[in-house]
Amino acid sequence: MTEVPDLNYREIQTLILTCKGLTCKEIAQRLSLSKKTIEHYRSSLLRKTGTHNKAGLIVYTLKNQLFRI
C-alpha cells in the first residue's frame, strides 16, 4: 500500500462516484455542481494519485483500499 494523498471532501465524493461508474456530467448533476468543477476535481485526483485516467483512479482506489465500493 502506498501513502494515501490528502483529499478534500469533494474530491472524495468525486472519487467514490467515479468508481461507481458515473461520468463527470452525472457526478455534477448529483452534487449540484458544474461539469467543469468535477473535471477540476478529477484532474486534481489524477495528479494527487499519480494516475493518468479514470481506470487508473479505480485501480488506485482498490489497491489502496481507500473505501468499499
- Provide CB contacts within 8 A for 52, sequence distance 6+: 46
Look at the pTM and tell me if it is higher than 0.85.
yes
Nearest by Cα to 33 from 42, 43, 22, 25? 25
Q: What is the pLDDT of residue 9?
A: 94
19 — pLDDT class (breaks 50, 70, 90)? very high
Among the residue ranges 2-6, 38-42, 64-68, the one predicted with the least confidence is 2-6
Does residue 3 have a pLDDT over 90?
no
Q: Which domains does the chain have, with CATH numbers?
A: 9-62 (1.10.10.10)
Q: What is the pLDDT of residue 46?
A: 96
Residue pair 66/6 in contact by the 8 Å Cβ criterion: no
Q: What is the pLDDT of residue 21?
A: 93
